Amino acid sequence: MSAQLRYWNLDCLIEKAALGVTELLTNVHQHAKPDKVCTVEIEFLLGRLTVSVHDHDPRLPAVAPPPGGPDPLATSGRGLALIEAVSESWGARPQGDAGKVVWFTLPAPSATPVGIPAVPAYGTVGGGPFREPVAFCDGAEVVDAARAHTAVRSAVAG
């Protein structure tokens, strides 16, 4: 996933995306039945990175604090709360007999930093087509829209 985010020039989202996908894959490994097979999909579209994990277990996850509040020394049970804390949004949707998909989104930084003009698309200066910057991470422009919205899938066996 890190390589794909670098390809899209979204280096600034790598840490949060890696944390989120690690938590989702840990949940598959610990809870999914009947098997631990899953598919990870990342998509960058309309300024949002969406990371999805599909597994074959139809049971939907839930964030439920333990009775008496969270145990400060607990070493498990915090994954979805972490995802909720670092992401813009998250959720789960049933896929019928095929299991479920758990996903989260991360916003890309602002589309056009102040003072940075749109880049001319074919070297034209006036009257020609212009390519607007898609998103920036610390000043690095994301590649053109055709590259920026490509979905990537990877099958992961746990």
The domain locations on the chain are 2-111+144-157
**Model pLDDT, residue 137:** 56
Mean pLDDT for the chain?
Answer: 77
Which of residues 18 and 123 earns the better pLDDT score? 18
User: Does 58 score more than 90 pLDDT?
Assistant: yes
Give the global pTM: 0.68
Do the beta carbons of residue 151 and residue 49 sit within 8 Å? no
% of the chain surpassing 70 pLDDT: 64
Q: How far is CA 8 from the centre of its chain?
A: 13
The pLDDT value recorded for residue 148 is: 45
User: How many angstroms separate the Cα of 61 from the Cα of each of 7, 80, 100, 107?
Assistant: 31, 8, 10, 23
CATH 3.30.565.10 is held by the domain 2-111+144-157: yes
Q: Which tens digit of pLDDT belongs to each residue from 8-53?
A: 999 999 999 999 999 999 999 999 898 999 999 999 999 999 999 9
pLDDT at 131 over 50: no
User: What's residue 40's pLDDT?
Assistant: 97
Of the ranges 27-31, 59-63, 69-73, 111-115, which is most confident?
A: 27-31
